[in-house]
Amino acid sequence: MNTANVHKPYLRLLPVQVAAIMAGAVNSLVDTVMTAHFLGPDAVAGIGFFCPVLTVIYLCYVVLNGTQILCGRAIGSGKSNDAVSLFSTALATVLGYGILLSLGALLLRAQLAALLGAKGNALACLKDYIIGFMPGVPFMILSCSMMMFMPCNNDLKRSYVIMGIMVASNAVLNLVLIRAAGMGMTGLGLASSLSYLFSAALMFPRFLRSDRVYRFSPRSLCFSRMKEAARLGLPELLFNAGVTLRTYLLNLTVMGALGASGVAALNVEFSLLSFLSAIPCGVSRSCTLLGSIYYGERDRQSLTEVTSFALKCGLILSVSMTAAVMAFSARIASAFFLSGTDAWLMTRQMLLCFASIFVWNTLFTVLLRIYQIQDHLLAVNILNFAEQALYGLLAVVGIRLIGAAGVWVANPLADILCLIAIFAWIRIKLKHIPRTLEQWMLLPQDFGARPEDVLEFTVGGMEDVVNVSRTLMDFCRERNVPLRYRTIVGLSVEEMAGNVIQHGSDRSGKSTVEIRLVAEDTLVIRLRDNCRAFDPKQRVGQFDPEDPAKNAGIRMIARLADEMDYHNDAGINTLLIRISP
């Protein structure tokens, strides 16, 4: 296997996923700073009371996360039309959810503001904020949904541009609507709404193009499939439930035992986590995007490789981040509080104690996403809730035993205990200690093709293509594949790999193709390369009267094969051809 065809798309997806999470955190920070500077403490309190509404809005990820896995499986198994149906239905579902939330909150804003606990001036500020923010919720959900899938459509540069536009427009509109127009909290909410509207308007046309893996097709809607998507995405709901319990326990414990300085340090921790958790989250999301495709392909080697590479990248980034936070703990604390004050001392202690969370959380989240891809949902659901709940419970116990440090070490300790629980679970299932990554991943012995049924080659020229074609035909003959079908195998490899070699070269003029044949009940040919995109499915229907022979080979293979499917994931072209003897 050419590991570059696994590493390259991962390295292209990872920065986008990290940047998308950080962009959301930057927007929140900008809103908070603008509110504190221009509107005062009552307005800041109003935003704080609004946080539970955001939790409800983000429940759309229950459907989206499950859909992402189902789409990856569908693409990996050569059913790109299923992926289009799943994506289209998920987009329509979460849009409907956003519209209902928006209308409900606007119609019942007074009751909602009171229910959230706001009083006095904070109550008035919250009601005004709801008027401005809630109309943009459908666009917010659409933006988040499309940003999850846009990198997989190879729209990486556009993803960065749209994130920049969203952040910049939010900041500018805050200044215009709050200060220049004097719209107060309504203007603050409206700035967010408009920034999400702009980003959604820029992204949506890209999902109407027929040459995209993920595209919106109203004709493909099938809402019955959302039940399975919600089942796969249920860990997101349980994670949020754990966060709610954790927040309640921490607020109760820290305020009572440590006072205002403790609460201030805790708020700094949460602020840093909103930014820096982008590393473990981005690492695991990128692994999920590619891992679900390899799982659909039943490609054991690629699934193991992307998991291994994700863990290596994640550990390098998280260890570096941990070291940086600890090394600059004094300066970070000084950015929030005056040096030497109780809040400063407590914040520095917090930074030194909790910084290792990034390392443990990276290991934990990557493993959890691999289990989720494989449908180990009971364990994933329990662990998602337990991680956050344990954090709160350990803080309650720790503060009584060792004081403030007990709160700060609770976060990394919760993840360490969850990793120990994973080890114990695997030990029980395997009846021995896990020694390899595949055992930690809990890959079944029968997952993927047997090594003796697989042949893989990497070719870089037409002579190599012809030689490999003959080798594959001989391989089929040894397995008693009839002459007709092994001839189709040879023709398919020569025609399709030859097209990549001849037309897909990069600027240096070089092009390599990874060819893989699985000879089981069905013959499956996979061609994978990182050259220029070349979709043979688009060429099948093209006919030039002046050159009848043009694309004739592709049309012939399409007729002879039972299935032919193409997709491009973050710059890697994959063609699957299935032949049933």
pLDDT band at 450 (very low <50, low <70, confident <90, very high): confident
Structure token digits, residue 110: 């007074």
DSSP 511: -
Q: Which amino acid is at 533?
A: A
Decide if 124 contacts 109 (C-beta within 8 A).
no
Residue 124 near residue 538, CB atoms below 8 Å: no
- What φ, ψ does residue 407 adopt, rounded to 5°? -70, -40
- Position 454 scores a pLDDT of 86
Which range has the worst mean pLDDT, 356-365, 429-438, 441-450, 545-554? 545-554
pLDDT band at 505 (very low <50, low <70, confident <90, very high): low
Contact 71/292 with Cβ under 8 angstroms?
A: yes
* Residue bearing the bigger pLDDT, 564 or 442: 442
Q: Would strands 513-519 and 563-569 be described as parallel, antiparallel, or unpaired?
A: unpaired
Q: What is the pLDDT of residue 510?
A: 64
Could you tell me the residue ranges of all domains in the chain? 17-221, 234-448, 451-579
How many CB atoms neighbour CB 87 within 10 A?
A: 29
Report the first-to-last Cα separation within the chain, whole angstroms: 26
Residue 72 CA from chain centroid, whole number: 12
Where residue 551 falls (left for φ over 0; alpha for ψ -120 to 50; beta otherwise) is: left
Supply the pTM of this predicted model: 0.86
Over residues 554-577, mean pLDDT: 80
Q: What confidence score (pLDDT) does residue 259 get?
A: 74
Neighbours of 342 (CB within 10 A): 15
Would you give the distance in Å from CA 390 to the centre of its chain?
24
Report in angstroms the alpha-carbon separations of 339 from 343, 348, 507.
Answer: 9, 10, 55
CB–CB of 78/565 below 8 Å?
yes
**Who wins on pLDDT, 505 or 428?**
428
pLDDT for residue 547? 47
451-579 folds as: Heat Shock Protein 90 (3.30.565)
202-211, 449-458, 546-555, 568-577: which has the highest mean pLDDT?
Answer: 202-211
pLDDT band at 333 (very low <50, low <70, confident <90, very high): confident
Encoding tokens for residue 325?
């936070």
Return the H-helix or E-strand segment holding 573.
strand 572-579
pLDDT tens sequence across 233-268:
999 889 888 888 887 787 777 767 777 677 777 777
Q: Per residue, what are the HEC states of 78-90? A: CCHHHHHHHHHHH
Local structure of 458: helix, strand or coil: strand
Q: What average pLDDT is seen over the chain? A: 86
pLDDT at residue 148 greater than cutoff 70:
yes
Tell me the pLDDT tens digit for each residue of 205-242.
999 988 788 899 999 898 998 999 999 999 988 988 88
User: Over 50: is that where the pLDDT of 543 sits?
Assistant: no
**Cα 53 off chain centre by:** 22
* Contact predicate 162/203, CB 8 Å: yes
pLDDT of residue 3: 80
CA 265 to CA 179: how far, in whole Å? 30
Q: Label residue 308 exposed, middle or buried (CB < 10 Å: 0-12, 13-18, 19+).
A: middle
Q: What is the pLDDT of residues 522-536, one digit of tens each?
A: 888 888 887 777 777
Helix pair 404-430, 342-354: axis angle to 10 deg = 10
pLDDT band at 508 (very low <50, low <70, confident <90, very high): low
Contacts 24+ apart (CB under 8 A), 114-118: 116/49, 116/50, 116/52, 116/53, 117/49, 118/45, 118/46, 118/49
CA distance 359 to 350: 16
Per-residue pLDDT, 191: 92
- pLDDT higher than threshold 60 for residue 549: no
* Per-residue pLDDT at 544 exceeds 70: no
